[in-house]
Amino acid sequence: MAISRTTMATEASSYDYLFKRNTTALADAASAVLSRFTRNEFNMDSKSTIGVEFATRSLQVDNKTIKAQIWDTAGQERYRAITSAYYRGAVGALLVYDISKQSSFANVERWLKELKDHADANIVIMLVGNKSDLKHLRAVPTAEAQSFTEEKSKLEDGTQSSNPIRFIETSALDSTNVENAFQNILTDIYQLVATKALEGGDSIKPSNGETITVAPTSDNDTKKGACC
Amino acid sequence: MGTRLDKFNFILNSPVVDIEKLQKLSWSGVPSSLRCAVWPLLLGYLPTNSSRRATTLSKKRAEYATASLNAFDRPLDSKLWHQIVIDVPRTNPGNPLWQNDTAQRSLERILYIWSIRHPASGYVQGINDLATPFYQVYLSNYIQGDAHSCDPSLLSATHLQEIEADTFWSLSKLLDGIQDNYIIAQPGIMRQVKRLNELTRKVDPELSLHLSDQGVDFIQFSFRWINCLLMREVQMSNVIRMWDTYLSEGTDSFSCFHTYVCLAFLNKWSKQLKLLDFQDIIMFLQAPPTQSWSDSDVELLLSEAYLLKTVWDNAQSHIS
Protein backbone atom coordinates (compact mmCIF):
# COMPACT_ATOMS: atom_id res chain seq x y z
CA MET A 1 0.00 0.00 0.00
CA ALA A 2 1.23 3.42 -0.81
CA ILE A 3 2.32 5.69 1.91
CA SER A 4 1.50 9.30 2.46
CA ARG A 5 3.23 11.60 4.77
CA THR A 6 2.54 14.60 6.82
CA THR A 7 4.97 17.22 7.86
CA MET A 8 4.15 19.32 10.83
CA ALA A 9 5.52 22.57 11.91
CA THR A 10 4.51 24.34 15.02
CA GLU A 11 4.92 28.03 15.01
CA ALA A 12 4.79 30.84 17.44
CA SER A 13 3.85 34.21 16.01
CA SER A 14 1.18 34.74 18.60
CA TYR A 15 1.78 31.49 20.32
CA ASP A 16 4.19 30.32 22.92
CA TYR A 17 6.33 27.92 20.99
CA LEU A 18 7.76 27.53 17.58
CA PHE A 19 8.84 24.31 16.11
CA LYS A 20 8.54 22.33 13.02
CA ARG A 21 7.13 18.92 12.78
CA ASN A 22 6.80 16.26 10.24
CA THR A 23 4.33 13.48 9.95
CA THR A 24 4.48 10.49 7.73
CA ALA A 25 1.51 8.35 7.05
CA LEU A 26 0.00 5.66 4.91
CA ALA A 27 -2.30 6.60 2.04
CA ASP A 28 -5.82 7.67 2.86
CA ALA A 29 -5.43 6.57 6.46
CA ALA A 30 -3.15 9.48 7.19
CA SER A 31 -5.40 12.07 5.65
CA ALA A 32 -8.29 10.64 7.62
CA VAL A 33 -6.45 10.89 10.95
CA LEU A 34 -5.38 14.40 10.09
CA SER A 35 -8.83 15.51 9.07
CA ARG A 36 -10.23 14.11 12.33
CA PHE A 37 -7.59 16.01 14.32
CA THR A 38 -7.71 19.37 12.55
CA ARG A 39 -11.36 19.65 11.54
CA ASN A 40 -13.05 16.88 13.55
CA GLU A 41 -14.37 15.50 10.29
CA PHE A 42 -14.40 12.06 8.80
CA ASN A 43 -14.92 11.67 5.09
CA MET A 44 -14.75 8.28 3.39
CA ASP A 45 -14.33 9.82 -0.03
CA SER A 46 -11.85 12.60 0.41
CA LYS A 47 -9.72 13.17 -2.67
CA SER A 48 -6.25 11.71 -2.88
CA THR A 49 -3.45 13.90 -1.57
CA ILE A 50 -1.42 15.48 -4.36
CA GLY A 51 2.15 16.31 -3.40
CA VAL A 52 1.83 17.91 -0.01
CA GLU A 53 -1.19 19.45 1.66
CA PHE A 54 -1.35 21.63 4.72
CA ALA A 55 -3.42 21.66 7.87
CA THR A 56 -3.16 23.29 11.25
CA ARG A 57 -4.50 23.15 14.79
CA SER A 58 -3.65 24.56 18.18
CA LEU A 59 -3.23 22.48 21.30
CA GLN A 60 -2.49 23.17 24.94
CA VAL A 61 0.67 21.52 26.22
CA ASP A 62 1.98 22.26 29.69
CA ASN A 63 -0.25 25.37 29.82
CA LYS A 64 1.31 26.68 26.66
CA THR A 65 -0.44 27.07 23.34
CA ILE A 66 1.23 25.08 20.65
CA LYS A 67 0.21 25.58 17.09
CA ALA A 68 0.82 22.55 14.96
CA GLN A 69 1.47 23.08 11.27
CA ILE A 70 0.91 19.81 9.57
CA TRP A 71 1.95 18.71 6.11
CA ASP A 72 -0.01 15.80 4.81
CA THR A 73 2.10 14.20 2.15
CA ALA A 74 1.10 12.11 -0.82
CA GLY A 75 1.16 8.36 -0.62
CA GLN A 76 2.43 7.54 -4.05
CA GLU A 77 6.08 6.80 -4.58
CA ARG A 78 6.27 9.18 -7.53
CA TYR A 79 5.84 12.08 -5.14
CA ARG A 80 8.74 11.11 -2.94
CA ALA A 81 11.15 13.66 -4.41
CA ILE A 82 8.80 16.42 -3.35
CA THR A 83 7.68 15.00 -0.06
CA SER A 84 11.11 14.14 1.27
CA ALA A 85 11.98 17.85 1.22
CA TYR A 86 9.40 18.40 3.92
CA TYR A 87 11.26 16.17 6.37
CA ARG A 88 14.20 18.46 6.71
CA GLY A 89 14.00 20.61 9.78
CA ALA A 90 10.83 18.93 10.96
CA VAL A 91 10.55 18.10 14.64
CA GLY A 92 8.03 15.30 14.54
CA ALA A 93 6.64 12.63 12.29
CA LEU A 94 3.59 10.42 12.39
CA LEU A 95 3.69 7.22 10.39
CA VAL A 96 0.19 5.91 9.95
CA TYR A 97 -0.60 2.36 8.88
CA ASP A 98 -3.83 0.43 8.60
CA ILE A 99 -4.23 -2.28 11.28
CA SER A 100 -6.45 -4.27 8.91
CA LYS A 101 -3.76 -4.51 6.23
CA GLN A 102 -0.51 -6.34 6.85
CA SER A 103 0.90 -4.84 3.62
CA SER A 104 0.52 -1.32 4.96
CA PHE A 105 2.34 -2.30 8.16
CA ALA A 106 5.07 -3.90 6.07
CA ASN A 107 5.69 -0.54 4.42
CA VAL A 108 6.50 1.15 7.72
CA GLU A 109 10.07 -0.11 7.67
CA ARG A 110 10.68 1.63 4.35
CA TRP A 111 9.28 4.89 5.64
CA LEU A 112 11.40 4.74 8.76
CA LYS A 113 14.36 4.54 6.46
CA GLU A 114 13.08 7.53 4.49
CA LEU A 115 12.92 9.51 7.71
CA LYS A 116 16.37 8.36 8.74
CA ASP A 117 17.74 9.51 5.38
CA HIS A 118 16.01 12.88 5.20
CA ALA A 119 14.92 14.03 8.65
CA ASP A 120 16.90 15.51 11.52
CA ALA A 121 18.35 12.97 13.90
CA ASN A 122 16.31 14.19 16.88
CA ILE A 123 12.95 14.03 15.13
CA VAL A 124 10.15 12.55 17.28
CA ILE A 125 8.54 9.64 15.46
CA MET A 126 5.20 8.10 16.30
CA LEU A 127 3.85 4.95 14.70
CA VAL A 128 0.07 5.10 14.43
CA GLY A 129 -2.06 2.02 13.79
CA ASN A 130 -5.28 3.46 12.43
CA LYS A 131 -8.71 1.85 11.92
CA SER A 132 -8.76 0.34 15.43
CA ASP A 133 -12.56 0.27 15.02
CA LEU A 134 -12.16 -2.63 12.56
CA LYS A 135 -11.63 -5.16 15.35
CA HIS A 136 -12.86 -8.17 13.41
CA LEU A 137 -10.59 -7.32 10.45
CA ARG A 138 -7.43 -6.75 12.44
CA ALA A 139 -4.40 -8.12 10.58
CA VAL A 140 -1.64 -6.50 12.66
CA PRO A 141 -1.72 -7.48 16.36
CA THR A 142 -1.04 -4.64 18.78
CA ALA A 143 1.78 -6.65 20.36
CA GLU A 144 3.49 -7.11 17.00
CA ALA A 145 3.51 -3.38 16.31
CA GLN A 146 4.59 -2.69 19.88
CA SER A 147 7.59 -5.01 19.71
CA PHE A 148 8.47 -3.77 16.23
CA THR A 149 8.58 -0.25 17.65
CA GLU A 150 10.80 -1.33 20.55
CA GLU A 151 13.11 -3.18 18.20
CA LYS A 152 13.42 -0.13 15.95
CA SER A 153 14.14 2.10 18.94
CA LYS A 154 17.29 0.18 19.91
CA LEU A 155 20.64 1.78 19.47
CA GLU A 156 23.51 -0.09 17.84
CA ASP A 157 24.73 -1.39 21.23
CA GLY A 158 21.30 -2.86 21.96
CA THR A 159 20.19 -0.27 24.52
CA GLN A 160 17.04 1.78 24.10
CA SER A 161 17.32 5.16 22.44
CA SER A 162 16.54 8.16 24.61
CA ASN A 163 14.21 9.23 21.80
CA PRO A 164 12.33 5.99 21.07
CA ILE A 165 9.65 5.58 18.44
CA ARG A 166 6.24 6.12 20.02
CA PHE A 167 3.30 3.86 19.27
CA ILE A 168 -0.47 4.30 19.47
CA GLU A 169 -3.60 2.88 17.85
CA THR A 170 -6.34 5.22 16.65
CA SER A 171 -9.63 5.30 14.82
CA ALA A 172 -10.25 8.31 12.60
CA LEU A 173 -13.78 6.94 12.11
CA ASP A 174 -14.88 6.96 15.75
CA SER A 175 -12.18 9.42 16.97
CA THR A 176 -10.55 7.01 19.43
CA ASN A 177 -7.09 8.22 20.44
CA VAL A 178 -6.66 10.69 17.58
CA GLU A 179 -6.52 13.61 19.98
CA ASN A 180 -4.23 11.61 22.29
CA ALA A 181 -1.85 10.76 19.48
CA PHE A 182 -1.30 14.40 18.62
CA GLN A 183 -1.32 15.50 22.27
CA ASN A 184 1.35 12.91 23.09
CA ILE A 185 3.68 13.64 20.23
CA LEU A 186 3.35 17.40 20.67
CA THR A 187 4.09 17.06 24.37
CA ASP A 188 7.18 15.00 23.62
CA ILE A 189 8.34 17.46 20.99
CA TYR A 190 7.71 20.34 23.32
CA GLN A 191 9.72 18.72 26.10
CA LEU A 192 12.56 17.81 23.80
CA VAL A 193 12.70 21.30 22.37
CA ALA A 194 12.41 22.93 25.79
CA THR A 195 15.26 20.79 27.14
CA LYS A 196 17.46 21.68 24.20
CA ALA A 197 16.63 25.33 24.72
CA LEU A 198 17.74 25.10 28.35
CA GLU A 199 20.92 23.31 27.40
CA GLY A 200 21.99 25.39 24.49
CA GLY A 201 20.48 28.83 24.64
CA ASP A 202 17.30 29.63 22.83
CA SER A 203 17.68 28.06 19.48
CA ILE A 204 18.28 24.75 17.84
CA LYS A 205 20.17 24.35 14.66
CA PRO A 206 19.08 21.29 12.76
CA SER A 207 21.55 19.65 10.42
CA ASN A 208 20.41 21.63 7.40
CA GLY A 209 21.18 24.90 9.14
CA GLU A 210 17.67 26.18 9.64
CA THR A 211 17.23 27.99 12.91
CA ILE A 212 14.23 27.12 14.94
CA THR A 213 13.52 29.59 17.65
CA VAL A 214 12.00 28.07 20.72
CA ALA A 215 12.39 30.36 23.66
CA PRO A 216 10.04 33.31 23.43
CA THR A 217 6.98 32.87 25.56
CA SER A 218 5.62 36.39 25.32
CA ASP A 219 3.22 37.20 22.54
CA ASN A 220 3.98 39.02 19.35
CA ASP A 221 7.71 39.28 19.61
CA THR A 222 8.64 36.34 17.46
CA LYS A 223 8.95 36.18 13.77
CA LYS A 224 8.19 32.71 12.57
CA GLY A 225 10.42 33.19 9.56
CA ALA A 226 12.77 30.42 10.53
CA CYS A 227 10.25 27.68 10.39
CA CYS A 228 9.98 26.99 6.73
CA MET B 1 -23.08 34.15 -40.97
CA GLY B 2 -25.08 34.81 -37.87
CA THR B 3 -24.65 33.34 -34.44
CA ARG B 4 -21.61 31.72 -32.87
CA LEU B 5 -23.33 28.40 -33.25
CA ASP B 6 -23.68 29.03 -37.00
CA LYS B 7 -20.01 29.91 -37.24
CA PHE B 8 -19.06 26.69 -35.49
CA ASN B 9 -21.37 24.65 -37.66
CA PHE B 10 -20.01 26.24 -40.80
CA ILE B 11 -16.45 25.31 -39.87
CA LEU B 12 -17.35 21.83 -38.67
CA ASN B 13 -19.35 21.02 -41.80
CA SER B 14 -16.63 21.93 -44.27
CA PRO B 15 -14.96 19.02 -46.08
CA VAL B 16 -11.69 19.97 -44.42
CA VAL B 17 -11.99 21.76 -41.11
CA ASP B 18 -9.91 24.92 -40.96
CA ILE B 19 -8.22 24.15 -37.66
CA GLU B 20 -6.87 27.68 -37.16
CA LYS B 21 -10.33 29.14 -37.53
CA LEU B 22 -11.71 26.51 -35.20
CA GLN B 23 -9.02 27.30 -32.61
CA LYS B 24 -9.68 31.00 -32.88
CA LEU B 25 -13.39 30.55 -32.41
CA SER B 26 -13.08 27.95 -29.67
CA TRP B 27 -10.68 30.09 -27.64
CA SER B 28 -13.65 32.06 -26.33
CA GLY B 29 -15.63 28.94 -25.51
CA VAL B 30 -17.30 26.09 -27.36
CA PRO B 31 -21.11 25.73 -27.24
CA SER B 32 -21.78 22.74 -24.99
CA SER B 33 -23.74 20.92 -27.69
CA LEU B 34 -20.69 20.99 -29.99
CA ARG B 35 -17.88 20.15 -27.58
CA CYS B 36 -17.95 16.44 -28.37
CA ALA B 37 -17.38 17.30 -32.03
CA VAL B 38 -14.89 20.13 -31.48
CA TRP B 39 -12.59 18.71 -28.80
CA PRO B 40 -11.46 15.63 -30.80
CA LEU B 41 -10.47 17.94 -33.67
CA LEU B 42 -8.63 20.40 -31.45
CA LEU B 43 -6.83 17.51 -29.76
CA GLY B 44 -5.80 16.02 -33.07
CA TYR B 45 -7.58 12.82 -32.10
CA LEU B 46 -9.71 13.02 -35.24
CA PRO B 47 -8.60 14.27 -38.68
CA THR B 48 -9.71 17.62 -40.06
CA ASN B 49 -10.59 15.91 -43.33
CA SER B 50 -14.21 14.88 -42.92
CA SER B 51 -14.02 12.05 -45.44
CA ARG B 52 -11.45 10.28 -43.23
CA ARG B 53 -13.08 11.02 -39.91
CA ALA B 54 -15.53 8.14 -39.60
CA THR B 55 -12.90 5.57 -40.59
CA THR B 56 -10.38 6.95 -38.12
CA LEU B 57 -12.96 6.99 -35.38
CA SER B 58 -13.98 3.38 -35.85
CA LYS B 59 -10.36 2.33 -36.19
CA LYS B 60 -9.38 4.05 -32.95
CA ARG B 61 -12.37 2.64 -31.09
CA ALA B 62 -11.56 -0.85 -32.31
CA GLU B 63 -7.95 -0.38 -31.33
CA TYR B 64 -8.99 0.59 -27.81
CA ALA B 65 -11.31 -2.41 -27.56
CA THR B 66 -8.44 -4.71 -28.49
CA ALA B 67 -6.06 -2.99 -26.10
CA SER B 68 -8.63 -3.40 -23.36
CA LEU B 69 -9.11 -7.11 -24.06
CA ASN B 70 -5.36 -7.66 -24.07
CA ALA B 71 -4.75 -5.70 -20.91
CA PHE B 72 -7.30 -7.57 -18.84
CA ASP B 73 -6.74 -10.96 -20.42
CA ARG B 74 -3.64 -11.53 -18.34
CA PRO B 75 -2.51 -11.13 -14.74
CA LEU B 76 -2.79 -7.49 -13.72
CA ASP B 77 0.09 -5.38 -12.51
CA SER B 78 -1.17 -5.61 -8.96
CA LYS B 79 0.60 -2.57 -7.55
CA LEU B 80 -0.62 -0.35 -10.38
CA TRP B 81 -4.13 -1.76 -10.25
CA HIS B 82 -4.31 -1.29 -6.49
CA GLN B 83 -3.36 2.39 -6.76
CA ILE B 84 -5.98 2.93 -9.45
CA VAL B 85 -8.82 1.20 -7.61
CA ILE B 86 -8.20 3.15 -4.42
CA ASP B 87 -8.11 6.45 -6.33
CA VAL B 88 -11.10 5.98 -8.63
CA PRO B 89 -13.78 6.14 -5.88
CA ARG B 90 -12.02 9.29 -4.61
CA THR B 91 -12.28 11.03 -7.99
CA ASN B 92 -14.62 14.05 -8.02
CA PRO B 93 -16.36 12.84 -4.85
CA GLY B 94 -18.92 15.63 -4.94
CA ASN B 95 -20.01 14.76 -8.47
CA PRO B 96 -22.82 12.13 -8.73
CA LEU B 97 -21.58 10.82 -12.10
CA TRP B 98 -18.30 9.76 -10.52
CA GLN B 99 -19.99 7.89 -7.70
CA ASN B 100 -21.63 5.75 -10.37
CA ASP B 101 -20.35 2.22 -10.71
CA THR B 102 -20.37 2.18 -14.52
CA ALA B 103 -18.38 5.41 -14.77
CA GLN B 104 -15.91 4.21 -12.14
CA ARG B 105 -15.27 0.89 -13.91
CA SER B 106 -14.67 2.79 -17.18
CA LEU B 107 -12.25 5.13 -15.49
CA GLU B 108 -10.34 2.20 -13.97
CA ARG B 109 -9.88 0.60 -17.37
CA ILE B 110 -8.86 3.87 -19.04
CA LEU B 111 -6.23 4.61 -16.40
CA TYR B 112 -4.89 1.08 -16.31
CA ILE B 113 -4.52 0.78 -20.08
CA TRP B 114 -2.95 4.20 -20.40
CA SER B 115 -0.48 3.39 -17.62
CA ILE B 116 0.72 0.07 -18.98
CA ARG B 117 1.24 1.73 -22.36
CA HIS B 118 3.28 4.53 -20.77
CA PRO B 119 5.69 2.80 -18.38
CA ALA B 120 8.04 5.81 -18.05
CA SER B 121 5.33 7.65 -16.25
CA GLY B 122 2.77 5.05 -15.25
CA TYR B 123 -0.25 6.07 -13.29
CA VAL B 124 0.36 9.11 -11.11
CA GLN B 125 -2.27 10.35 -8.68
CA GLY B 126 -4.08 13.24 -10.30
CA ILE B 127 -4.19 11.69 -13.77
CA ASN B 128 -7.52 10.21 -12.66
CA ASP B 129 -8.86 13.77 -12.41
CA LEU B 130 -7.66 14.64 -15.92
CA ALA B 131 -9.66 11.88 -17.61
CA THR B 132 -12.99 13.01 -16.22
CA PRO B 133 -13.76 16.17 -18.25
CA PHE B 134 -13.40 14.15 -21.46
CA TYR B 135 -15.71 11.43 -20.23
CA GLN B 136 -18.28 13.96 -19.14
CA VAL B 137 -18.16 15.87 -22.43
CA TYR B 138 -18.40 12.75 -24.60
CA LEU B 139 -21.12 11.26 -22.42
CA SER B 140 -23.26 14.35 -22.93
CA ASN B 141 -23.49 13.49 -26.62
CA TYR B 142 -25.51 10.39 -25.76
CA ILE B 143 -27.91 11.74 -23.17
CA GLN B 144 -30.53 14.38 -22.58
CA GLY B 145 -29.69 16.81 -19.83
CA ASP B 146 -26.70 17.14 -17.57
CA ALA B 147 -23.88 14.57 -17.78
CA HIS B 148 -22.81 15.59 -14.31
CA SER B 149 -25.82 13.87 -12.73
CA CYS B 150 -26.72 11.19 -15.25
CA ASP B 151 -26.64 7.42 -14.83
CA PRO B 152 -24.40 6.01 -17.60
CA SER B 153 -25.50 2.45 -16.87
CA LEU B 154 -28.69 3.26 -18.78
CA LEU B 155 -26.70 3.55 -22.00
CA SER B 156 -26.05 0.64 -24.33
CA ALA B 157 -22.78 -1.24 -24.01
CA THR B 158 -21.71 -0.02 -27.45
CA HIS B 159 -22.25 3.61 -26.55
CA LEU B 160 -20.38 3.18 -23.29
CA GLN B 161 -17.46 1.62 -25.12
CA GLU B 162 -17.40 4.52 -27.55
CA ILE B 163 -17.33 7.07 -24.75
CA GLU B 164 -14.62 5.12 -22.97
CA ALA B 165 -12.47 4.78 -26.08
CA ASP B 166 -12.80 8.46 -27.02
CA THR B 167 -11.92 9.43 -23.44
CA PHE B 168 -8.90 7.17 -23.54
CA TRP B 169 -7.52 8.64 -26.76
CA SER B 170 -8.25 12.19 -25.70
CA LEU B 171 -6.54 11.67 -22.36
CA SER B 172 -3.60 10.15 -24.23
CA LYS B 173 -3.33 13.23 -26.45
CA LEU B 174 -3.49 15.54 -23.46
CA LEU B 175 -0.85 13.60 -21.54
CA ASP B 176 1.46 13.38 -24.57
CA GLY B 177 2.01 17.12 -24.13
CA ILE B 178 2.75 16.99 -20.40
CA GLN B 179 4.41 13.64 -19.85
CA ASP B 180 7.36 15.18 -18.05
CA ASN B 181 4.93 16.25 -15.33
CA TYR B 182 4.55 12.62 -14.34
CA ILE B 183 7.88 10.89 -14.93
CA ILE B 184 10.36 10.36 -12.09
CA ALA B 185 11.14 13.56 -10.16
CA GLN B 186 8.35 15.29 -12.12
CA PRO B 187 10.67 17.77 -13.91
CA GLY B 188 7.82 19.34 -15.90
CA ILE B 189 6.08 20.42 -12.72
CA MET B 190 9.29 21.59 -11.09
CA ARG B 191 10.07 23.76 -14.10
CA GLN B 192 6.64 25.37 -14.01
CA VAL B 193 6.79 25.99 -10.26
CA LYS B 194 10.12 27.72 -10.74
CA ARG B 195 8.80 29.75 -13.64
CA LEU B 196 5.70 30.76 -11.70
CA ASN B 197 7.94 31.99 -8.91
CA GLU B 198 10.16 33.99 -11.30
CA LEU B 199 7.18 35.48 -13.10
CA THR B 200 5.52 36.50 -9.84
CA ARG B 201 8.68 38.32 -8.83
CA LYS B 202 8.40 40.39 -12.02
CA VAL B 203 4.65 40.80 -12.29
CA ASP B 204 3.76 41.34 -8.64
CA PRO B 205 6.97 42.11 -6.73
CA GLU B 206 5.10 43.10 -3.57
CA LEU B 207 3.30 39.81 -3.38
CA SER B 208 6.48 37.97 -4.19
CA LEU B 209 8.26 39.73 -1.34
CA HIS B 210 5.40 39.08 1.07
CA LEU B 211 5.33 35.38 0.24
CA SER B 212 9.05 35.08 0.75
CA ASP B 213 8.92 37.12 3.99
CA GLN B 214 6.33 34.70 5.26
CA GLY B 215 8.47 31.74 4.31
CA VAL B 216 6.01 30.52 1.69
CA ASP B 217 7.63 28.33 -0.91
CA PHE B 218 5.84 28.21 -4.27
CA ILE B 219 5.92 24.45 -4.36
CA GLN B 220 3.79 24.37 -1.22
CA PHE B 221 0.74 25.68 -3.03
CA SER B 222 1.38 25.47 -6.77
CA PHE B 223 2.44 21.85 -7.06
CA ARG B 224 -1.14 20.64 -7.04
CA TRP B 225 -2.25 23.50 -9.33
CA ILE B 226 0.09 22.15 -11.96
CA ASN B 227 -0.20 18.44 -11.26
CA CYS B 228 -4.00 18.53 -11.58
CA LEU B 229 -4.28 21.51 -13.96
CA LEU B 230 -6.24 23.49 -11.32
CA MET B 231 -8.94 20.84 -11.35
CA ARG B 232 -8.86 20.67 -7.54
CA GLU B 233 -9.29 24.44 -7.25
CA VAL B 234 -12.26 25.13 -9.54
CA GLN B 235 -15.55 23.40 -10.36
CA MET B 236 -15.85 20.84 -13.15
CA SER B 237 -17.93 23.18 -15.33
CA ASN B 238 -15.15 25.77 -15.02
CA VAL B 239 -12.55 23.18 -15.98
CA ILE B 240 -14.46 22.21 -19.10
CA ARG B 241 -14.69 25.85 -20.14
CA MET B 242 -10.98 26.33 -19.44
CA TRP B 243 -10.12 23.38 -21.64
CA ASP B 244 -11.94 24.95 -24.61
CA THR B 245 -9.28 27.63 -24.45
CA TYR B 246 -6.36 25.35 -23.57
CA LEU B 247 -7.17 23.05 -26.49
CA SER B 248 -7.26 26.12 -28.76
CA GLU B 249 -3.96 27.51 -27.52
CA GLY B 250 -1.84 24.89 -29.22
CA THR B 251 0.24 21.95 -28.22
CA ASP B 252 2.09 23.28 -25.19
CA SER B 253 -0.86 25.02 -23.59
CA PHE B 254 -1.24 22.51 -20.73
CA SER B 255 2.28 23.40 -19.65
CA CYS B 256 3.22 26.85 -20.98
CA PHE B 257 -0.15 28.60 -21.06
CA HIS B 258 -1.16 26.84 -17.86
CA THR B 259 1.74 28.50 -16.03
CA TYR B 260 0.27 31.87 -16.98
CA VAL B 261 -3.17 30.77 -15.87
CA CYS B 262 -1.64 29.86 -12.50
CA LEU B 263 0.07 33.25 -12.45
CA ALA B 264 -3.24 35.03 -13.13
CA PHE B 265 -4.91 32.83 -10.53
CA LEU B 266 -2.35 33.76 -7.87
CA ASN B 267 -2.53 37.39 -8.90
CA LYS B 268 -6.27 37.40 -8.42
CA TRP B 269 -5.88 36.95 -4.67
CA SER B 270 -2.87 39.23 -4.32
CA LYS B 271 -4.62 41.85 -2.20
CA GLN B 272 -5.96 39.34 0.33
CA LEU B 273 -2.74 37.34 0.43
CA LYS B 274 -0.65 40.38 1.33
CA LEU B 275 -2.63 40.66 4.58
CA LEU B 276 -2.18 37.02 5.58
CA ASP B 277 0.56 35.18 7.41
CA PHE B 278 2.22 31.93 6.41
CA GLN B 279 -0.38 29.46 7.42
CA ASP B 280 -3.36 31.53 6.36
CA ILE B 281 -1.76 32.01 2.94
CA ILE B 282 -1.32 28.28 2.50
CA MET B 283 -4.81 27.52 3.78
CA PHE B 284 -6.29 30.15 1.46
CA LEU B 285 -4.46 28.98 -1.64
CA GLN B 286 -5.30 25.38 -0.90
CA ALA B 287 -9.01 26.13 -0.94
CA PRO B 288 -9.49 29.41 -2.83
CA PRO B 289 -13.01 30.87 -2.89
CA THR B 290 -14.05 29.76 -6.37
CA GLN B 291 -17.21 27.82 -5.47
CA SER B 292 -19.50 30.31 -7.13
CA TRP B 293 -17.36 30.87 -10.21
CA SER B 294 -19.25 31.10 -13.47
CA ASP B 295 -17.96 30.95 -17.04
CA SER B 296 -17.31 34.67 -16.97
CA ASP B 297 -14.95 34.37 -13.98
CA VAL B 298 -13.05 31.69 -15.85
CA GLU B 299 -13.00 33.78 -19.00
CA LEU B 300 -11.59 36.75 -17.11
CA LEU B 301 -8.88 34.50 -15.69
CA LEU B 302 -8.04 33.18 -19.15
CA SER B 303 -7.87 36.66 -20.65
CA GLU B 304 -5.57 37.81 -17.87
CA ALA B 305 -3.40 34.77 -18.46
CA TYR B 306 -3.29 35.53 -22.16
CA LEU B 307 -2.22 39.12 -21.52
CA LEU B 308 0.47 38.01 -19.10
CA LYS B 309 1.72 35.46 -21.59
CA THR B 310 1.84 38.07 -24.35
CA VAL B 311 3.91 40.40 -22.22
CA TRP B 312 6.18 37.92 -20.47
CA ASP B 313 6.57 34.85 -22.61
CA ASN B 314 9.15 36.40 -24.88
CA ALA B 315 10.80 38.19 -22.01
CA GLN B 316 12.29 35.04 -20.54
CA SER B 317 15.85 36.27 -20.90
CA HIS B 318 15.06 39.32 -18.77
CA ILE B 319 13.81 37.10 -16.01
CA SER B 320 16.74 34.79 -15.69
Query: What is the pLDDT of chain B when averaged over all its residues?
Result: 95
Q: Do residue B157 and residue B278 come from a single domain? A: no
How sure is the predictor about B318, in pLDDT bands with cuts at 50, 70 and 90?
low
Residues B268 and B233: beta-carbon distance below 8 Å: no
Residue B32 has pLDDT above 50, yes or no: yes
- Interface contact A58, partner B, CB < 8 A: no
**Is residue B240 situated within a structural domain?**
yes
Q: What pLDDT is stored for residue A122 in this prediction?
A: 85
Q: What pLDDT is stored for residue B316 in this prediction?
A: 58
**Which residue did the predictor score with more confidence, A163 or B315?**
A163
Interface test with A, best of B104, B219, B282 (most A CBs within 10 A): B282
How sure is the predictor about A13, in pLDDT bands with cuts at 50, 70 and 90?
very low
Helix (H) or strand (E) holding A98: strand A92-98
User: In this complex, which of A13, A76, A85 lies closest to B125 when CB atoms are compared?
Assistant: A76
| CATH number, domain with residue A197 | 3.40.50.300
- Nearest-Cα distance to chain B for A81, in Å, is 6
Residue A219 has pLDDT above 60, yes or no: no
Which of B125, B147, B176 represents a domain boundary (last residue)? B176
Residue A20 bridge partners (DSSP): A9
ipTM: 0.86
Domain of residue B219, residue span: 187-319
Q: Is pTM, for the whole model, over 0.90?
A: no
**Is residue B85 situated within a structural domain?**
yes
Q: Do residue B192 and residue B310 come from a single domain? A: yes
Task: Work out the average pLDDT over A142-157.
Answer: 94
Distance CA B190, CA A2 (A): 22
Which of B176, B209, B239 represents a domain boundary (last residue)? B176
Q: Where are the alpha helices (DSSP H) in chain A?
A: 27-39, 80-83, 102-106, 108-118, 142-152, 178-199
Crossing angle of helices B218-227 and B187-203, rounded to 10°: 120
Distance CA A54, CA A74 (A): 11
User: In this complex, which of A2, A46, A53 lies closest to B83 when CB atoms are compared?
Assistant: A2
- Nearest-Cα distance to chain A for B221, in Å, is 8
Please count the structural domains in chain B.
2
Percent of chain B surpassing pLDDT 70: 98
Q: What pLDDT is stored for residue A142 in this prediction?
A: 97
How sure is the predictor about A210, in pLDDT bands with cuts at 50, 70 and 90?
very low
**Is residue B133 situated within a structural domain?**
yes
Query: What is the pLDDT of chain A when averaged over all its residues?
Result: 74
Residue A211 has pLDDT above 70, yes or no: no
**Is residue B32 situated within a structural domain?**
no
What number of other Cβ atoms are within 10 A of residue B101's Cβ?
Answer: 11
| CATH number, domain with residue B97 | 1.10.8.270
**Cβ of B125 and A13 within 8 Å?**
no
Q: What pLDDT is stored for residue B103 in this prediction?
A: 97
How sure is the predictor about A198, in pLDDT bands with cuts at 50, 70 and 90?
low
Q: What pLDDT is stored for residue A228 in this prediction?
A: 31
How sure is the predictor about A75, in pLDDT bands with cuts at 50, 70 and 90?
confident
- Interface contact B76, partner A, CB < 8 A: no
Q: What is the pLDDT of residues A15-50, one digit of tens each?
A: 444 344 444 444 456 778 888 888 888 876 688 889
